[in-house]
Amino acid sequence: MALAEINFDGIIGPSHNYAGLSLGNLASAKNAGRISEPRAAALQGIEKMRANIRLGLAQGAFLPQRRPDTAWLERLGTDAARAGPALLANAMSASSMWTANAATVSPAPDTGDGRCHLTSANLVTMPHRSHEWPETMAQLRTAFADAAHFAIHDPVPAPFGDEGAANFMRLASCHAEPGIEIFVYGESGGPFPARQHVEASKAVARKHRLDPDRTLFVEQSPAAIAAGAFHNDVVAVANETVLFCHEQAFTEPAKFHDGLRALMPDVVIVEVPADRVSLREAIKTYLFNAQLVTLPEGGMALILPTESRESEAVWTWLEEMVAGNGPIRKLIPVDVRQSMANGGGPACLRLRVLADPGTVDPRFLMDEPKLDAIAEVIAAEWPEAIDGGALNDPALWDRIASARKALYETLSLTELI
């Protein structure tokens, strides 16, 4: 079985809007009420996937969910026409596009039964995300239906908040070798909630049948949460032997790093000092919300938002790092401004799954012709703009439903509509 890391990006949905629903997400709050551009947002996401394919990386996609979520509203005893503005905004959120929060993934080399395990995140901390998991589960069970190679688990029950791979990292000598799995949880974030509960992380590790001696539970620093690092992937990212993180990402960084080196002597820790790039600047530019990837020709690249290039402090440090002949050899800025304005960068948009592509439902795997077909649907069907104050327009709901249906039909996934 030839294992490859496949990045499954969320196709940005036709309901993409700026309602400012995510407490602790500074970009989301800052841009609340702005007019969004769903078509431009989705096409930016397509171009990001296309660029990854051209780098020689394996690429997949997950599809937008039903919006407004009528089933969720029905469970609350209402519907889109009668729900108040706040409840309707939560039912209209397109946040499932950030598939880093779709699930936690433990690949076959790390698990007790030699299968890839995926646990859907419950996302219970935020109402607008708490209703994503049923449709996420449906897509996971379809994409990874081969029970000989995959095990799909229901979410951890409430009240233990689980936000998926955004609070998870994996290190290994190479992707296909057994790795160290790192679960990052929060305890306090000043005025903002800590979204990942340590008991949720421990439950996922047990369900995935991980080796306790190769599993770490690490606390995210309260300072990072209070500064707006609502997920660990806003202050740290890992790939194979490299951990790339901010100096203030973790509560006890020295203890964490020493434990990591004891388990994995060849680990390379690239730590950005706070006196060069402040937490505020790192979060503003989403320096760490990047895809750290291994290139087919060797070496690693950092796929990061263009906002990082626009920051003198961030870009100067990055150029010095690359010039220093460290493990990260290439910087690749990508334009995902519409997603960034709603609080999600390149890493938020993707879920990493280490698997044999031949075991995955091919309808979820992308190539350039398929991306061309998706882009045509988006250009024809996605709304050009959505005013956050006009989410109660039935014509908009119909437009969103029609656009989503056209995409599912294009990818022959009508059983999931």
Query: Which among 5, 163, 181, 240 is annotated as catalytic?
Result: 163
Element (H, E) at 242: strand 242-246
Q: Which long-range contacts (CB under 8 A, 24 or more apart) does 131-138 make?
A: 131/69, 131/71, 131/72, 131/90, 131/91, 132/65, 132/95, 132/96, 132/101, 132/102, 134/71, 135/65, 135/66, 135/96, 135/416, 136/62, 136/65, 136/96, 136/102, 136/103, 138/416
CA distances from 338 to 47, 313, 335, 347, 389 (A): 13, 23, 9, 14, 18
The yes-or-no answer on residue 116 being catalytic is no
* Buried/exposed 74-87: b ≥16 CB within 10 Å, e otherwise: eeeebebeebeeeb
Check if the beta carbon of residue 327 is closer than 8 Å to that of residue 270: yes
Give the 3-state secondary structure of 267-292: CEEEEECCCCCCHHHHHHHCCCCCEE
The yes-or-no answer on residue 208 being catalytic is no
Amino acid occupying residue 390:
A
Check if the beta carbon of residue 121 is closer than 8 Å to that of residue 102: yes
CA distance linking residue 24 with residue 309, whole number of Å = 24
The yes-or-no answer on residue 348 being catalytic is yes
Sign, CA dihedral 341-343-346-350, equals negative
Query: Which among 16, 135, 247, 348 is annotated as catalytic?
Result: 348
CA distance linking residue 151 with residue 200, whole number of Å = 18
Catalytic residues: 163, 231, 348
